[in-house]
Structure 1
Amino acid sequence: MARRNAGRHVPLLMACALMAWQIWMLFHIASSEVTHVVWSCDESDCGTDDLAGGAPMMGAAAVVAFSLMARRFLHHAAPGVALALAGTAFAGGWRAAVGAGDIREDESVDWMIGWFSAGHWITVAQAVAAAGAVWALVGGAVSLRRTGGLHRLRLGRRLAVSEASLTGWSPVGRGRGRVEVAFEDADGVRRTFPAVVGRHALGRKALALHDAERPGDRARSRLSTPRKKVR
């Protein structure tokens, strides 16, 4: 059953990898080929048949697509990973253009929103990449806390997962409250342990992550609240 469930995610995982490659390729082309784009202009508008000309818009669409598709695996970190990848690729493209002698780092070029030097674009791209990395780290930490990811790794083969119920909401501030988590272990014995959760957890399926060999050990029990709500 576990292998079947894992196999079900392979197509989505491959699609996410392909979309990540698209983000990298499009933003790298958008900046590395900027001096080679040939524009045709009339009285009201300009256009081009070069991929580099439309790459930024396609890259932005790829960022959105990856953020949505990768939530199954990266959860709240997905948008941050996409931004970090886009910013890194964009900065790398400008560096490639400078390294190839297509443009000097202090030379300004008319690109998308105005005249800016390659050095300025590199700085902006690095800032976007850094912001994306911070987003990914914070989002990853939130997701790990919500799903009990670290606790799963800590218990390893001794991990047992049981459906749980939450009772006794007691506010502790900032939309969070203390609850009692109840579950039945493999022998049908009812166990409980305290947890502090956000209000969103009250409308979601609750899982108790506990030590299969010591199900009554409260210190080794954690609550996991998957993304899908209880119907």
Structure 2
Amino acid sequence: MTNRLPAWMLRDLSLPRLRRYIRAAHGDARAAERLYWWNVEVSSALFGSLHCLELALRNALHTALARHYGRPDWWTVAPLNDRGQRLVNDARRSCGRRLRRITPDDLVAELSFGFWVSLLSHGSGYDRHFWVPVLHAAFPHYQGRRDRLYRELTSLVLLRNRVMHHEPVHHRHLAADHDTICRVLGYLSPELAEETRTMDRFPDVLAGRADVLSGARPPRF
């Protein structure tokens, strides 16, 4: 049923990408097309809350670590593991390709969501070096265990990367993902969580999935 997809769609979006949607739609090319566009729609609806979470997380962790080490370039003295040091060096090189002078703020913005979440891991003694003395305070409205928070954020790194790299997310438990985003935002800043909620169209997009897939309404993004 692949040949029922519009020729321009196969040409412009590529069969290898579309094949995953055809498979999910059990070979029904028309359903696959609708599923593809709904995936774009729901990904765009998740972008805003993921944006707020990523910025709030990195700013909270950076502020806490800069205060703890007494310098804005805390990564030069903090006990980062080899991977962490490599990510910092990669970020510095990336900044250096477009900036003549690199500030700590430039490097903070360049470091990935995955880097910031890794600081909450157990590996390389990060729980002892970072979480216990410093980073627990970056989540003033969280009273739970580090490992639970780390698991939640790790799942959101995977979601964020799929959204940003235009990959399928329709198969995920997106309602649970969205709840996790809102919950973790609340740990960092209830005010930001509430402001995000007032602009968030994800619930409506999720509720409209069946209408899009049935053809009752066109997807919008």
One fold, TM greater than 0.5? no
> Which one has a bigger Cα radius of gyration?
1
Larger RCO of the pair (alpha carbons < 8 Å, separation 6+): 2
Bigger share in helix: 2
Identify the structure with the greater strand proportion. 1
